[in-house]
Amino acid sequence: MERLSRLYSKLTNLLSVLAPLVDLTLRAWLFVVFFWNSGLNKIQSWDSTLMLFENEYEVPLISADIAAYLGTMGELVLPLLLLIGLFSRFAAIGLFIVNLVALYSYPFLWTPQGSAGFHQHLYWGVMMMVLMAHGPGKISIDWLLNRKCKEYQY
């Protein structure tokens, strides 16, 4: 039993060493999905973006133009903050909201043909919830700032 306990301890220590890389990988993946794949695409074909917000997406409470600007800004700024690990939990909350609005406002995702996209949004939401609860990890500006702040406490 003691041998099994030592093996377990070694394995958990190894996983703890890898945790910061896993955290960074998660943040980088969300950056690619939202910034690279979605945000940049929106600004590169702005006319198409406006057309989609006017005709396809059913964003509640605000006009299609405002929704397009806010959504695009959220998909460009928030993933960048996540990637560098600055205000990461707030960025994750913001992206979670962008993701929820996208999920709600695009009726196609709720059809059998759109179910793969629906599930993709759910996976992204879970990833963001992990960052909201766990934080960005040791390879982040947030971690460095937190460490500096603790040095100055008395």
Average pLDDT over residues 2-22: 92
The C-alpha angle 9, 10, 15, rounded to 5 degrees, equals 95
The phi and psi torsions of 151 (rounded to 5 degrees) equal -65, -30
| pLDDT of 88 above 80 | yes
Element (H, E) at 30: helix 2-31
Number of separate domains in the chain:
1
Whether 24 is covered by a domain: the verdict is yes
Whether 137 is covered by a domain: the verdict is yes
Higher pLDDT, 15 or 92: 92
Whether 2 is covered by a domain: the verdict is no
Whether 1 is covered by a domain: the verdict is no
pLDDT tens column, 130-150: 999 999 999 999 999 999 888
The answer to whether 33 and 128 are in contact (CB under 8 A) is no
The C-alpha angle 41, 20, 5, rounded to 5 degrees, equals 140
**Residue 58: per-residue pLDDT:** 87
Whether 58 is covered by a domain: the verdict is yes
Q: Quick one: pLDDT band at residue 40, thresholds 50, 70, 90? A: very high
Whether 118 is covered by a domain: the verdict is yes
Give the predicted TM-score (pTM) of the model: 0.86
Whether 82 is covered by a domain: the verdict is yes
Whether 112 is covered by a domain: the verdict is yes
**Residue 1: per-residue pLDDT:** 87
**75: Cβ–Cβ under 8 A, 6 or more apart, which residues?**
34, 35, 38, 39, 42, 98
Q: DSSP character for 152? A: T
Average pLDDT over residues 85-95: 98
The answer to whether 106 and 77 are in contact (CB under 8 A) is no
**Residue 60: per-residue pLDDT:** 85
pLDDT tens column, 107-131: 899 999 999 999 999 999 999 999 9
Tell me the residue range of the domain where 138 lies: 19-151
